[in-house]
Structure 1
Amino acid sequence: MPDTLTRVPLPVEPAPAEPPQRPAPRRDNSLRGIGLMLLGSVFLSAADVASKYLTATTPAIQVVWLRYAAFALIMLAVAAPGGFKQLKPRRAGMQILRGVAVTVSSILFVSSLRYLPIADATATSFVSPLFVTALSIPILGEKIGWRRWTATAVGLIGVLIVVRPGGSDFQAASILPVLSAVTWAFALIVTRMMSATENPVTTLAWSAVVGWIVLSALQPLTWQPLSTEALLVGLFIGVSSTVGHWFVIQAFRHADASLLAPFSYVQLLWASAFGFILFSVLPDAVTWFGSAIIIASGLYTAHRERIRARRVIGR
């Protein structure tokens, strides 16, 4: 799933006596931003498809643990040249909370892949921006207008169409991507609350390490010996997801979220293509219809967010 932390990484943390350093000016380049977003979607889809492949023989918690082990090693290696002092957060409690939320979201999503077609799980997970809208009221104290509430309701109708509760094709596992989207939305709100003061590298590193610690504690519940193939696939998942997240973060350095939002949904096309190549499964017409509704509501929500942001800053 996309991990859009902030548009620009912050420099190394200044001395405590100084005020928080503001983000550097963004280097606007729409085409580069779109290209990075598309690249990110390829890597994220590849990681999801590899996760589905591995869940056929390996418990989901173990699959996510392998992913986070690679994620943590990569982030610590990235941070090492600048010194690990830059990983000291200003809001450690919030970083831990975000790390736990992202980890739970990953466990729920990967657990669903054992039972659901990859495209169905991906489409359902796209409802997270709508949950961000709903959670913004109690957590951030935002006021949500009737237009965004309507978009949220329409998006949830799209989820019901994809999940098909009560129908012959309904699977209880279809609820897992929805719960994953809720916890992911919560993580995004926590990210928003920290974005003005925290370095994105710090946030990514803390998410990786916190996730790995939580998952390590859970390993005795599902542990089984890992084959060489499982280790290699797990390494691929960790590298692909980390690279994908990094491309997405870099995309936001070059273009507005409202411009990039439509291209993030290309991940559904990649998931469908990879799912067909590896598992010979394509989404049916009902899934595509529900997905279209979810995507349309998400794009409209992004449009309303852009209008609201312009009003706030008086543009």
Structure 2
Amino acid sequence: MADSNNTRLGVLLMIATTFVFAVQDGISRHLASEYNVLMVVMVRYWFFAAFVTAIAYRKAGGIRAAARTEQPLLQILRGLILATEICVMIYAFTLLGLIESHAVFTSYPLLVAALSGPILGEVVGWRRWTAIFIGFVGVLIILKPGFGVFSPAAIVPLAAALLFALYGLLTRFASRKDTAATSFFWTGVSGSVMMTVIGASYWEPMISSDWIWMGTLCITGALGHWLLIKTYEAAEASAVQPFAYLQLVFVSFIGVLVFGESIELNVAIGAAVVVCAGLFTLWRARQAA
């Protein structure tokens, strides 16, 4: 529950959040094209873990209070799934670029809606099931299967969307017993441990200019999460969540202007279908609430 209900401020903060995350994805695409994805994510997680630990330290009760949970295995699983999703999504950037990867990834709210029934026991009505079906038609428009141009690599961002949907559902499940601060702490720490164990053996020397980009990546990651926290403190999630789709717009500008990507007609049409279907599921969820 938001501490206040300033929807205008919440919308502005969400727009700022999506812009920062888009910049972060652009930097991730650059670094992952030059260095191993696992190493890039590992360094990013070191900073993320330090960030969540610093926040926990400043809260009442300190780190011990933030780490206290009755469901540690669930919290660890959440952290591992998110770290895996980040690795898969950044890998997708190197295969397909920013625009097509994010166009497919925007299907994750539809996956959340589809899986909320079997995982959380929530009721999904026929209208939302229809929107979910239409949304995945949009994904098929983006992927163009059966026309001789479909690449198996296009499945990678879809796998990332599925992982992120699972992470979101498990976060919702964990919130029944744990606070947001506890979940945030475990997300950073467990993901950092996992990436250190997996990524340490993939360490590569980086040139000095790329260390600047790596530092910027870490800062944008922390800034993005901080802005997201402030967004949900300012306004209700249902009011600001539709503006999260602006990340696709910002990413498209970065993809075209920085990396020379192009926006294919099928990607634009498919993404529009997915976004409209996602917005409808959010609206129906708010109506049901």
Deviations 1:258-312 (A, max 9, x none): 3213211111111011112211223122111101000001001001111111xxx
Q: Distance in 2 between matches of 1:277 and 1:150?
A: 36
TM-score by length of 1: 0.86
Equivalent residue number for residue 253 of structure 2: 273
Structure 1 segment 149-298 matched on structure 2, within 5 A: 149-219=129-199, 222-298=202-278
Deviation string, structure 1 residues 196-226 (Cα, Å, up to 9, x no partner)? 4323232222111111111111125633333
Question: Could you say which residue in structure 2 is the equivalent of 1:35?
Answer: 12
Aligned to 1:110: 90
Instruction: Supply the AA of the counterpart residue of 1:112.
Output: A
Decide whether the 8 Å contact of 1:116 with 1:173 is kept in 2: yes
Does residue 59 in structure 1 map to residue 39 in structure 2?
no
1:81 to 33, 55, 58: 58
Task: Quote the offset at 1:158 in angstroms.
Answer: 0.8
Give 3-state SS (helix, strand or coil) of 2:172's partner.
helix
TM-score, normalised by the number of residues in structure 2: 0.93
Q: Kindly, what percent of the aligned residue pairs are identical?
A: 30
Q: How many residues align?
A: 286
Question: What is residue 301 of structure 1 aligned with on the other side?
Answer: 281
2:66 counterpart letter in structure 1: L
Instruction: Check if 1:71 corresponds to 2:51.
Output: no
Q: 1:45 aligns with which of 13, 18, 22?
A: 22
Is the contact made by 1:162 and 1:290 (CA closer than 8 Å) also made in structure 2? yes
Helix, strand or coil: the match of 1:282? coil
The offset of 1:116, in angstroms, is: 1.1
Q: Distance in 1 between matches of 2:35 and 2:186?
A: 26
State the shift of 1:168 in Å: 4.3
- Of 127, 131, 134, 2:114 maps to 134
**2: CA distance, partners of 1:70 / 1:120:** 28
Q: Deviations over 1:160-195 (max 9, x none)?
A: 111222334433221111111111111111111122
Q: Is the 8 A contact 1:66 1:235 kept in 2?
A: no
Contact 1:55 1:114 in 2 (8 A): yes
Deviates more, 1:231-240 or 1:165-174: 165-174
Give the secondary-structure state (helix, strand or coil) at the position aligned to 1:306. Answer: helix
Q: Which moved more, 1:48-57 or 1:130-139?
A: 130-139
> Alpha-carbon deviations, 1:16-47, whole Å to 9, x = none?
xxxxxxxxxx3010110000000000110000
Are the aligned partners of 1:119 and 1:271 in contact in 2 as well (CA < 8 Å)?
yes
- Structure 2 portions without partners, runs of 5+: none
Does structure 2 conserve the Cα–Cα contact (< 8 Å) formed by 1:70 and 1:235? Answer: no
Opposite residue 73 of structure 1, the aligned amino acid is A
Point out where structure 1 has 5 or more consecutive residues left out of the alignment: 1-6, 9-25, 310-315
| Counterpart-to-counterpart distance in 2, 1:196 and 1:164 | 40
Runs of 4+ aligned structure 1 residues displaced above 4 Å come to none
Amino acid at match of 1:58: Y
Q: Deviations over 1:133-152 (max 9, x none)?
A: 22112211222211111111
